[in-house]
Chain A
Amino acid sequence: MIEHLPVLAVAVSLLGSFTVVLTSLYTRKAGYPLSLSITFIQLVMAVVILMNINSGGAISYWLGGWRPPWGIEYRVDILGAYVLVIVTIFSFLATVYARKTVEKEIDPEKQPYFYTLWLLLVSGMAGVAVTGDLFNLFVFLEIASLATYALIAMAGKRALIASFNYLVLGAVGISFYLLGTAFLYAATGTLNMLDARALLTLIYDSRIVQLSFVFYFIGLAMKMALFPFHVWQPNAYEHSPSAVTVIISTALAKVNAYALFRLIFSVYTVKFFQNYGTIFELTAIVASAGIIAGSVLAIMERSLKKMLAYSSVANVGYIVLAFTLGKWGIYAAAAHLLNHSLMKAALFMVAGGFIYRLGVRRIDELEGLGRAMPLSSAAFAMAAVSMIGIPPSAGFVTKLFILLASLDTGRFVFIAVMIASSLLSLVYFWRVIEILYMKGHRERMDELPASMLYPALIMGVLSILAGILWFFSIDILDEIVIALGVV
């Protein structure tokens, strides 16, 4: 049974998405309960996979029984299982959160189709986490992206333009990924990641191989909104339905970062980059520029959701920077995949909640809400404090690992980048906290509905306590580093 779980984790939501369309012929109400139960089943499957991999190697599943270098292989190692758990946790919580916002923001006739696309998105993301095939990864990324374009556009009006801009840049990005695959296939003749890894060791010198990585990097950088390619992202986050912002800023952004993670460490491997240090140098410079630029743009932004979007640009920079910083960098990158999702989930859930209750989008309109909605504001404040990086919060864990990585590799300039970015994030998050708690006055009003409040509160509390939790579960990160063969 256990060896079938990787494919089942993808298949349940894929089948579920079509089931929602069929049920919509009879009732409009089936979408939400179906999505909720399916994402929960996926979460259970992901946890079972993670528990079983802890005790040994990787789960390999041959689709259709074809042997791996030729057939498509689903291969879940500890990193894949870890990302699958992240994807399913945040998909589940975002689904819980989605109910009320969807009722308010989406036309009743279109609600079943919203959940259809929602499950399709979840299925695409789960697929990226489990697949061991480069072309299959492309297909799953495209499934997730196409569902996202349509989901963003469902908010109507401005969201249409935001969605179209995302579609053009996203499609160009994913085509660059395909171009990279073409070059890699031309050089190695294989699409299987494990096979490609072995074959590549002989031809690191080949220009075709080097170029293929550059294409992969550009493509995935466009998808995950790394600094110079981030232009689509703030508008897409700002105008999409609240629930969609939550899922794409947490799960989808991490899945794209994971794809690059997988390519760098499982396909090209660290040896390739040791031969061509300049690629890593350039990557680190681009990522550092992204960290600083994202933070500065966030300070200048007046809309709450756009400010959080620019903060995501900076945080994607952290993940990519961490890739280049050796063993401790992998600790930082892997931990930040979860940490950043925890914090951004709470922040975007509350930001969406303010829009739901009051229709306020600008930061200066939040005056007095700290007293008017204490629990919701507390969730926001906890995640904001964590973003700044006060121990023992989630943001602190990442920054600690990056500090260790910089000291270990002797590249002290990144410590300066990190401190600068922490100070900048102090500026832009403190501004929000100040307006929430210290300015203006409002009468006490109803908190957010329970289905929106509790996911946000759980994420907020977890992001504060993440440092303690990581202290007890650090062996997952140890195993990821060992499984990637970096040490």
Chain B
Amino acid sequence: MVDILGYYNYWGFVILLAIGLYGALACENLFKKMVGLSIFQTAIFLLFISIADVGTFETLGLKSGTAPIFWEEIHEYRYVNPVPHVLVLTGIVVAAATLAVGLALIIRIYREYGTLNEEELRWEL
């Protein structure tokens, strides 16, 4: 039980991933699709942050998650790998840019067609 709860951040990742993917692909409202997409991307950032915790992957017996600045340090010491954090920072910028382009398109689609419903818009194509 403790083992399952101990991985709460990974459970969060899986649940958010599923909700986000469902939202992005199945919602009919274009704005809800963008919200779903954002949740989907955020879930992946949560995974990146989770794997930055070195203790989790020591079981593989790899040098995984060894921070370059601490290369020669002892491995029992529990620290957090900075690289995934940097990746997430870049990822957030990319996600924000995607969201901005998507919302700009939504505004123009609404001005052009007066609806954001995917089914109604499909007939326009």
Chain A residues in the interface with B (C-beta under 8 A):
70, 135, 138-139, 142, 146, 149-150, 153, 156-158, 160-164, 167-168, 171-172, 175, 178-179, 182, 185-189, 191, 199, 202-203, 206, 235, 239
In the assembled complex, which residues on chain B have CB atoms less than 8 Å from the CB atom of A182? 44, 47-48, 51, 84
Q: How far is the CA of A178 from the CA of B83 in the complex (A)?
A: 14
Q: Looking across the interface, which residue of chain B has its beta carbon closest to that of A142?
A: B94
Number of interface residues of B (CB under 8 A): 42
Q: How far is the CA of A270 from the CA of B100 in the complex (A)?
A: 40
Fill in one digit per residue for B84-118: 1 if any A CB lies within 8 Å of its CB, else 0: 10010011001001100110011011001100000
Q: Say yes or no: B65 contacts A167, CB within 8 Å.
A: no
- Of all A-B residue pairs in the complex, the 3 with the closest CB atoms, nearest first, are A189-B64, A186-B51, A70-B68
In the assembled complex, which residues on chain A have CB atoms less than 8 Å from the CB atom of B30? 164
Q: Say yes or no: A188 contacts B105, CB within 8 Å.
A: no
Fill in one digit per residue for B33-70: 1 if any A CB lies within 8 Å of its CB, else 0: 11001001100100110010000010010111110100
In angstroms, how far is the closest chain A Cβ from the Cβ of B46? 10
Q: Say yes or no: A161 contacts B109, CB within 8 Å.
A: yes
Known A-B contacts: A139-B94, A168-B34, A182-B44. Give 16 more (CB < 8 A). Answer: A135-B87, A146-B97, A146-B98, A153-B108, A158-B124, A160-B108, A168-B24, A171-B102, A172-B37, A179-B47, A182-B47, A186-B51, A187-B57, A187-B62, A189-B66, A203-B60
Q: How far is the CA of A281 from the CA of B39 in the complex (A)?
A: 33
In angstroms, how far is the closest chain B Cβ from the Cβ of A402? 33
Summarize B's interface: helix, strand, loop or mixed.
helix
Are A206 and B112 also in contact (CB < 8 A) when A135-B87, A146-B101, A186-B51 are?
Answer: no
Fill in one digit per residue for B11-36: 1 if any A CB lies within 8 Å of its CB, else 0: 00000010001001100001001100
In the assembled complex, which residues on chain A have CB atoms less than 8 Å from the CB atom of B91? 178
Q: How far is the CA of A167 from the CA of B25 in the complex (A)?
A: 12
Q: Say yes or no: B62 contacts A189, CB within 8 Å.
A: yes
| Contact residue among B25, B63, B68, B109 (Cβ-Cβ distance under 8 Å from A172) | B25
In angstroms, how far is the closest chain A Cβ from the Cβ of B18? 13
Q: Say yes or no: B125 contacts A162, CB within 8 Å.
A: yes
In the assembled complex, which residues on chain A have CB atoms less than 8 Å from the CB atom of B63? 189
Q: How far is the CA of A135 from the CA of B88 in the complex (A)?
A: 11
In the assembled complex, which residues on chain B have CB atoms less than 8 Å from the CB atom of A175? 37, 40-41, 44
Q: Say yes or no: B37 contacts A171, CB within 8 Å.
A: yes
In the assembled complex, which residues on chain A have CB atoms less than 8 Å from the CB atom of B101? 146, 149-150, 167
